[in-house]
Structure 1
Amino acid sequence: MAYHQGYGGQGSKHRGRGPLVPPAPDPHQLFDDTSAGFPHAQGTPASGIDMGFNTLLADPMANVAVAYGSSIASQSKDIVHKEIHRFMSVNRLKYFFAVDTAYVTKKLALLLFPYAHQNWEVRYSRDTPLTPRQDINAPDLYIPSMAFITYILLAGIALGLQQRFSPEVLGMCASTAFVWVIIEVLALLLSLYLVTVQSDLTPFDLLAYSGYKYVGMILAVLGGLLFGSDGYYVALAWTSCALMYFLVSVRPNMDTYSNL
């Protein structure tokens, strides 16, 4: 009996094999299994990393370094908050605007006629300086701010009388005056730092004392408008001398002036 090629005879122990057919893929399998084509990785890197990290945390020196870094960061944060509170405290800003009509009238008279004033000491109540409405010697920001605005408006009137007024010129005048005030305060702070003067003066204090000059500038411009150049120079000389006397008189109290 003839047999098909590839098959053994009847009773043969070895039967011929036909072509290999790959098994049908599982219809529920989303991706082909390709892991058989790659050798198995030796070791477990993830577990090694975890062990190294745990060893680092278990090191006493590492724990000390982490604790020291945390304490340094906390101290730096407290210092920054303290400095911000010192220079930009809302309560401090409210203190400089605690004025009334009687204080404004007396302070303007003091700025223009300081020679008769005797007591220049800043008064305190339980280590806290009294508000401007309670102490005429206390600095304020109400008069400097109002004097600054009045000076800009008065400068606009003077320019209008000279036929030189325009919104651009008025805006330039206001911007220039404001920039010079900032430069003056920064220069004072830098001077205090370079000469290492131990003072509790804040930028608000320096802004208040430097802003009082606008009172004299207003009087000088009014003198020029009413009496010409002679009135301008007379008023300028008087207010300049009065302001210098005022600042020299309050200077000894600046070093002992404390913050709120």
Structure 2
Amino acid sequence: MAYPAQSGFRQRKLQPKMRMRNTSADGSDPSPLFEDTSGGQGVGGGYARGHDKGAAAAGTVYPGQNLLSDPMSNLAMAYGSSLASQGREMVDKNLDRFIPISRLKYYFAVDTIYVGKKLGLLVFPYMHENWEVSYQQDTPVAPRFDINAPDLYIPVMGFITYILVAGLALGTQNRFTPESLGMQASSALVWLIIEVLATLLSLYLVTVNTDLTTIDLVAFSGYKYVGMIVGVVAGLMFGRMGYYLTLLWCCASIFVFMIRTLRLKILSEAAAEGVLVRGAKNQLRMYLTMSIAAAQPIFMYWLTFHLVR
């Protein structure tokens, strides 16, 4: 007869520990019948849980913090920076071998005063007397300190301005198209390259040992864009007669400028040679200088005559 009592005891023992909640007076209770009291209750329990979460968040270690504090990662970053600096130096060295960046900085070392004086010299070179380039410890001074020094600022700006003026001239004649402007720019650039290459070949054939560099020749060949711009603008304002008169003046000016500038460069080694050799070579060098100078008016007319009608 003890078995029923034992089975009832077992049932009471297996029943989970739960606490009944009070119901309302009308017997309705919209809340759940049971609530879990294992994690604390009331305000105190909520504060405990919030405090535990804050402590856990404060003690959390993110993967990036371990990466930054790792000595091996710092070493890898330092090694990567060293490789990047070495690669940069190697690129700069190889780039300077083909494109002399440090040399180009010299040709753009200009200021407003130099540009104004050089433009005046290109348009009116007849009263200028001293054409020698100044040197300081066997190094030519920057163009902003010497008006006779070649520069690339005026040729580059002149080329861009010439293309813009050509577009304006074509637009006033209802002949402007993007293709025509591109053809104008490419034609001027190709003729400039041909002129520089022909000059280099001529200097090689005549065996002239001069300090003229390729960049110097580009600079001297680019000075003619100033006269071309003045001629086209005069043609737009005063017609073809104004174009021809202005261009004729600019052609004579650039011819005189090139003669007086290049003769010091090309004839610089004549004093170190014998009398016979000096006489023969001087004649060839003078012809070469005059040919280079005479080519400037031809290119100036060829690149501008179709822009004025």
- The normalised TM-score by structure 2 is 0.55
Alignment of 1:169 onto 2:159 = no
Any idea what SS the aligned residue of 2:144 has?
A: coil
Moved over 6 A (4+): none
* Gaps in structure 2 of 5+ consecutive residues: 1-92, 270-309
CA distance in structure 2 between the partners assigned to 1:190 and 1:251 by the alignment: 16
User: How far off is 1:137 after superposition?
Assistant: 0.2
2:164 aligns with one of 140, 149, 153: 153
Of 196, 217, 231 in structure 1, the residue corresponding to residue 207 of structure 2 is 196
State the AA in 2 paired with 1:143: I
Per the TM alignment, residue 129 of structure 1 is displaced from its structure 2 partner at its CA by 0.3
Which residue of structure 1 lines up, in the alignment, with residue 196 of structure 2? 185
- Post-superposition shift, 1:174? 0.4
Q: Percent identity?
A: 61
Measure how far apart 1:201 and its partner are: 1.2
Measured in 2, the distance between the counterparts of 1:254 and 1:205 equals 10
TM-score of the superposition, structure 1-length normalised? 0.65
Note the alpha carbon deviations across 1:113-159, whole angstroms, 9 max, x for none: 10011111110000100110010000000000000000000000000
Name which of 92, 105, 110 aligns with 2:116: 105
1:234 CA drift (Å): 0.3
Aligned to 2:129: 118
The aligned counterpart of 2:230 is: 219
Of 129, 138, 163, 2:140 maps to: 129
CA contact (8 A) 1:103 1:132 kept: yes
For residues 143 and 93 of structure 1, do their structure 2 counterparts lie closer, same or farther at Cα, with a shift above 3 Å needed?
same
- Secondary structure class of the residue paired with 1:133: helix
Q: Is the 1:122–1:253 Cα contact (8 Å) retained in structure 2?
A: no
SS in 1 for 2:145: coil
Partner SS, residue 176 of structure 2: coil
**Which residue pairs with 1:232 in the alignment?**
243
* Matches of 1:143 and 1:105, distance apart in 2: 10
Q: Tell me how large the CA RMSD over aligned residues is.
A: 1.8
Q: Can you list the C-alpha shifts for 1:142-181, whole angstroms capped at 9, x where unaligned?
A: 0000000000000000000000000011011001111111
Q: Deviations over 1:180-233 (max 9, x none)?
A: 111110000001001111112111000000000000000000110000000000
Is there any run of 5+ residues in structure 1 with no aligned partner, and where? 1-80
Q: 1:65-76 counterparts in 2 under 5 A?
A: none
Shift of 1:254: 1.7
SS in 2 for 1:140: coil
Equivalence for 1:40: none
2:225 corresponds to which letter in structure 1? Answer: Y
